[in-house]
């Protein structure tokens, strides 16, 4: 459970989807002057050097953020996301990539709170080194810690949940954790990342069904696949489930996803999907 290191995958197509959605939500929260709370259950190291030997082993960022970075002026809808990356790269070169904590830190204002959880011993040490003094960092299991931290102060905000899913039990734990969270903080925005895997190991369908039935009235699902689904091995895409999504997030994603698919496609089977799994009148 403690073997996963996100540096091997930093900046890949899944990170692009995850952090673009995260940036959209944080931008929506920043529209109001009132403060918000940001909580990250699986923070990782916070940020990543793209020339590190772990990142270079598979160089997955070359099929993710790299092509977008080269044409970033052509993506005005991702200005906030790119600004978070530019904050770590003062020149034109792409040397560093922000994890979700650094993306959140970029948007943080004096009135906003930033709470980060990470269980891995080495990762939490790197997280402390990479983050500024305004972040509250907890060395704990995010699944256990989230309900204990709810409701937060300020009482509006975002929770990002993106476990590695190395254990198949993580899918069930995500759903049970969200059911607990709903009871304690039903008005929060929750963004849950999940992988799209080979046919014999993919559990995304059951996860989506469970999250659509854990109490929230608004459940939006966005998926991006960059290649065909294999039969036995590999991640061909990923998804983001957003519970209580902010206004017009669906419209932003309807514009973004087709362009991401065209830009990051690895074969002709690349595709995207956007659907409301649950939507009731507010």
Contact between 206 and 5 under an 8 Å Cβ cutoff? The reply is no
d(CA 261, CA 279): 25
Indicate which residue of 15, 162, 170, 250 is catalytic. 162
- Does the bond joining 128 to the residue before it have cis omega, within 30 degrees of 0? no
**What strands lie across the sheet with 189-197, from one edge to the other?**
135-138, 113-117, 37-40, 157-161, 189-197, 235-243, 218-225, 271-279
Crossing angle of the two packed helices 13-30 and 100-107, in degrees rounded to 10: 20
How far is C-alpha 238 from the geometric centre of its chain's CA atoms? Answer: 10
Q: Is 277 helix (H, G, I), strand (E, B) or coil?
A: strand
Distances 135 to 6, 43, 110, 158, 235 between C-alpha atoms, Å:
20, 12, 11, 15, 32
Contact between 115 and 152 under an 8 Å Cβ cutoff? The reply is yes
d(CA 37, CA 23): 14
Q: Does 162 qualify as catalytic in the annotation? A: yes
Contact between 103 and 84 under an 8 Å Cβ cutoff? The reply is yes
| CB-based burial, 91-116: b 16+ in 10 Å, e otherwise | eeebebbbbbbbbbbbbbeeebbbbb
Q: Active-site residue numbers?
A: 162
């Amino acid at each position: 459970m403690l073997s996963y290191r996100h540096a091997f995958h930093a900046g890949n197509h899944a990170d692009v989807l995850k952090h673009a959605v995260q940036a959209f939500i944080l931008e929506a929260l920043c529209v109001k002057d009132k403060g918000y709370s940001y909580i990250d259950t699986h923070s990782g190291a916070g940020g990543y050097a793209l020339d590190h030997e772990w990142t270079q082993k598979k160089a997955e960022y070359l099929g993710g953020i790299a092509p977008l970075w080269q044409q970033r002026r052509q993506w005005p809808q991702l200005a906030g996301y790119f600004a978070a990356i530019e904050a770590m790269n003062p020149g034109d070169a792409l040397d560093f990539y922000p994890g979700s904590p650094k993306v959140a830190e970029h948007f943080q204002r004096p009135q906003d709170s930033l709470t980060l959880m990470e269980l891995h011993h080495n990762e939490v040490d790197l997280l402390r080194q990479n983050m500024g003094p305004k972040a509250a960092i907890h060395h704990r299991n995010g699944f256990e810690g989230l309900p204990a931290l709810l409701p937060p102060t300020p009482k509006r905000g975002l929770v990002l949940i993106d476990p590695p899913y190395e254990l198949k039990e993580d899918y069930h734990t995500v759903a049970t954790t969200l059911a607990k969270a709903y009871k304690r903080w039903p008005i929060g925005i929750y963004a849950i990342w999940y992988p799209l895997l080979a046919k014999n190991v993919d559990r995304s369908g059951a996860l989506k069904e469970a999250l659509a039935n854990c109490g929230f009235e608004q459940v939006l699902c966005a998926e991006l696949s960059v290649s065909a689904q294999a039969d036995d091995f590999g991640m061909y895409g990923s998804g983001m489930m957003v519970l209580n999504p902010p206004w017009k997030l669906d419209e932003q994603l309807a514009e973004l996803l087709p362009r991401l698919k065209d830009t990051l496609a690895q074969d002709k089977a690349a595709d995207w999907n956007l659907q409301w799994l649950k939507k009731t009148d507010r």
